[in-house]
A and B are shown apart, each in its own frame.
Chain A
Amino acid sequence: MDDETLHRPLAERRTRREHRQLPKRYRDILPEPPAALPPPSLQVTPEDTQTDSNGPQSPSRQSQAPASLTDRKVLKSGRNGFGLFRQYFAARFPDHDPGEHITHNDLIESSNPSLPVDRYNPYPNLSSFLIGEWYWNGGEKKSQASFEQLMKIVGHPEFRPEDVAGNNWRLIDAQLSGERNEGSNEDDWEDEQVNRPAGWIKTPIRIKVPFHKKMKHPGQKEFDAGVLHHRKLMSVIRERITRPSVHPHLHFEPYELFWQPNVAAEPIRVHGELYTSEAFIEAHNRLQEQTPELGCNLPRVVLGLMFASDGTQLTSFSTAKLWPVYLTIGNESKYRRSKPSCQAFEHIAYLETASETFYVEVYIANFCWR
């Protein structure tokens, strides 16, 4: 204990006891982000990620790292509280580390999310919300009940006509349909297709149907099999990865995740994310070994696309069906992808099935024997 400490009053000397922990069995283990990567060298400009790094070397980066691929080596990050560490095979650690951006809130499943400030979003205020709610949920036809409902809204003590006056209803509805993710009615799906911001296009589906040589018109014949509603795949991808809310969470370089509870233990591979999977690492390595596009030295990144499709019955008593195709990008953590609030699944298309009219057409065209 040095002099300074001795001169301080007793109570102050005891401050460190504030950090006393509960007995282990009472402690709740909080999740923890991966250990931070060594800081990228200061002399590397953002655009010029392929050049030499002459900055101070971290212990895990033994030599200076020129751009060429032959210099790729095994790089290990530090271990975090759980003994997890990342192992890259690259010339240097990535500049863009999604681990940096993980906040405590990203790691815990918050059971009671705080109410957003604009709780009526996309409606600007309560009055607009009430009117909008009446319009959408009040049923298709005007009725006595819905009229009374409307009167109740107008007579609501907090209803203010000036709040409703200047609204851009079309924009609000577009936001409503675009941002809806939970609790939507089945028959709103159709609206969603129409109102979603840009990107939905229709392309006719044409297929060839072969006919037996004993039929009236043997050989192949082309048929229209309906119209496919879909979005441009690349536009969807581009929109997704350039979204400011998504960007910090994208992993551009795959790594292997290992668990090493203590220094003496043998590290054990941990599997979980697409960007820590063997397939992704393989695709990444193959891409890095490929000859680059002429005159291009931008970093090359694998985008892990994952498609999903599943037919759904829309109503219990009719044949209304949808067969949507979704896309999600595996460069994002599965913990984010599975949160509805992150809206990580993009609608790509609504697949068509052969309609009855299609069969009739095919039948008429040829199903009579010679």
Chain B
Amino acid sequence: MTHCHREIYHAQWSIILDDEFLEAYEHGVVVELCDNKRYRFYPRVFAYSADYKEK
């Protein structure tokens, strides 16, 4: 059952980190901000804070 817990967890994260995100991660995403300037943003994950699942 630990296997299922882990698999479900990973399956959900792979849904959250979708193709659109991976595309942006690799090639950046151009966004025009409110100063009318355009930037190419590269999302990077710096931290993930979580604890062990409580019973």
Contact = CB atoms under 8 A, between A and B. Distances in A.
Contact of A238 (B3, B7, B31, B46): B31
Interface string B34-55: 1111111111111111110110
Contact of B16 (A247, A303, A325): A325
A84 interface: no
A247 B33 contact: yes
Contact of A298 (B27, B40, B48, B54): B40
A303 B43 contact: yes
Given A207-B8, A303-B41, A354-B5, A242 B31 contact: yes
A205 B15 CA distance: 8
A93 B42 CA distance: 20
B43 A305 contact: yes
A187 interface: no
B14 to A, nearest CB: 10
B39 to A, nearest CB: 5
A301 B44 contact: no
A131 interface: no
- The SS class assigned to the A binding surface is mixed
Interface string A201-237: 0010111111000000000000001101010111001
B4 A358 contact: yes
Interface string A236-254: 0110011110010000100
Interface in A330-370: 330, 348-349, 351-354, 358-359, 362
A164 interface: no
A311 B8 CA distance: 15
Nearest to A210: B3
Contact of B42 (A208, A302, A351): A302
B6 to A, nearest CB: 9
A293 B11 contact: no
A99 to B, nearest CB: 15
A158 to B, nearest CB: 39
Interface string B12-37: 10011110110010011111111111
B27 A46 contact: no
Most chain A C-beta atoms within 10 Å of own C-beta, residue among B15, B17, B54: B15
A249 to B, nearest CB: 12
A46 B37 contact: yes
B7 to A, nearest CB: 4
A345 to B, nearest CB: 11
A176 to B, nearest CB: 26
A309 B41 CA distance: 24
A228 B37 contact: no
B21 A234 contact: yes
B9 to A, nearest CB: 7
A296 interface: yes
Nearest to A313: B54
Interface of A: 46-47, 49, 96, 203, 205-210, 225-226, 228, 230, 232-234, 237-238, 241-244, 247, 252, 274, 277, 279-280, 283, 287, 293, 296, 298-311, 325, 330, 348-349, 351-354, 358-359, 362
Interface of B: 1, 3-5, 7-9, 11-12, 15-18, 20-21, 24, 27-51, 53-54
10 contacts: A206-B11, A207-B11, A226-B8, A237-B43, A238-B31, A302-B41, A302-B44, A307-B45, A349-B15, A362-B4
